[in-house]
Structure 1
Amino acid sequence: MLTDRYVEFLAVVRYLFCFSCRQLEGFTRALNHPVSRLPSADYSGLRRRILGLDL
C-alpha cells in the first residue's frame, strides 16, 4: 500500500528528475531491492495518485 507521504516523495522525485510515470515505476522497483519495505507501484496508479495530491 502506498502512503500519501511516499507518493508525495515520488512526485518530488518525478519533478526534480523530469521522470515520466513509467520511469518512476522503474525507480520504485529499483528502490524495492535494497529497501524491501518500500512498495513498488504501477505507472497508472502512480499517475492517478500524484494528480490527486493536494500540493
Structure 2
Amino acid sequence: MLKNRADIDLLRVIRMLSIHDLVEIEAGDTFLFDEEAMVGKFEREKNFSTENFRNS
C-alpha cells in the first residue's frame, strides 16, 4: 500500500492509461453489459496489442 502520493509514478500511470486508450480506440470500447459486443473483445484487443506494441 502506498504511504503517500509521492510514491506514485505518475509517468507510468499516464503511459498505462494511454496504452489502454489506444487499444480501445482501435478495438472498440465495449460496454460491459453488451453481451454481443463482448464476443471476441479479448481477441480484438490482443490482436491490436501484439501488432502495434511488438517492438516496444
- Answer with 1 or 2: which has the greater Rg: 2
Larger RCO (CA within 8 A; separation ≥ 6): 1
TM-score using structure 2 length = 0.32
TM-score using structure 1 length = 0.32
